[in-house]
Structure 1
Amino acid sequence: MSLLVVGVAACLAGWVALYSLLCHTNGSRGCEWNCRLVTLLHGIMAVSVTAYIGYVDGPWPFTYPGTKNTPLQISAMVLSLGYFLFDMGWCVYFQTEGLVMLAHHTMSILGILLTLWLGESGIESCAVIFGSEITNPLLQARWFLKHSGHYDTFLGDLVDVLFVLLFVFMRVFVGGAMLYCELVSPRPKLVIKCGGVAMYVLSWVFVADIARFAGRKGSVRYRYWRRRALQTQDNKAE
């Protein structure tokens, strides 16, 4: 356990050091820009490692939940735990996120800590990290497009559509299948199953927010396209 504490502390220090380096070399962009660069890097790393764990190293999370943690699973969880601690501290300090996102970070931290402490169910935690972080690059791309003046373009619309579709597919359908396998399996402990239910409920809260966003943006885009169509008809009539 002492090695795990050292590993998490080292990862936390690494993410803090990377953020500090970006702020020093890219200070003109601002704190949130540099924090999101760190978030993007973590998302890419976490998805890559957990995808390898699930699809290559094994075991398959839908078939073997509740199994003992492997060294690679532990490494992936320690890496992400260090990041979540960094990002949680950053969000609290700068007060940039609402209660839902802070709850997500809190549950992610507690879930990884519990899995590391129990020494099992690492494959489910890695699957959750994969499903949570796979939409991260699109989310960050959306933010960077918005703050660089390129959001109200076809690329911005494409990123939004891909984000919504991927988020709903991974969190609702894949996440629901994962939760079902977790609940019906006799291996995972009850506390792990309860944590899975809590994460899935939180995913639906995110989905509700995204649905409201999609409805608003769809309405705005429809009015914009309708206005352009009417202008085109008027120009032809003249």
Structure 2
Amino acid sequence: MKNTGGSSEAKRRAGEHAADLVEDGEVVGLGTGSTTAHAIRALGRAVDAGLDVQAIPTSFQSRQLALDAEIPLTSLDAVDGVDLAIDGADQVAARDDGGFDLVKGGGAAHAREKVVDAAADRFVVVADPSKLVDPLDYPVPVEVLPDARPTVAEAVRELGGEPSLRTARRKDGPVVTENGNLVLDCDFGPIDDPATLATGLSALPGVLEQGLFVGLADEVHIGHADDVDVLGR
């Protein structure tokens, strides 16, 4: 399930604006999605012009885009750290402390995305205005071990959510993540306390990762038709 919306021009501006932050010699985390794809292509053009970077992709999609753009790739176990992560979001909500809470996982890559985004010294979200909300109310993707699906679904209901197994669009059956797991899209309605919900979901046996990114983002770059707003800097 993806939160579609926003113009392609707004997404392009946000992605390219974030790509301009990358400096020579840095290790960059590459997220997944249509807006991040613009950042990856822009980074590839910078590499072609002489920028020296290494990138850590978070999905098959971002890896393939990086390979197509001839961006050198690496992995978390081969570097000392991640300087900057660029990633999209299905929804973004501002926090009272100046940070941001996100719902991610529309591309079912949120487990690997969270690992890389949390490891980065600076995590930048790229989005269009349609992704800004208050409060978060998008169904939370929860990646579960296949055998745990029934018990996790029941536990989600006990937490006040309505789980729905994500099905594939072009084949019969469910979506299977790159980790070999299933995704439950869990609708909680308006989420007034993302931190508490994230803790509850993460504690469920059989859950690999859930799509609430609480307080991880340092900046949000919101693209418009003719400019980019930078929030949180």
TM range (shorter): under 0.3
State the TM-score, normalizing by the size of structure 1.
0.23
* CA radius of gyration, larger in: 1
State the TM-score, normalizing by the size of structure 2.
0.24
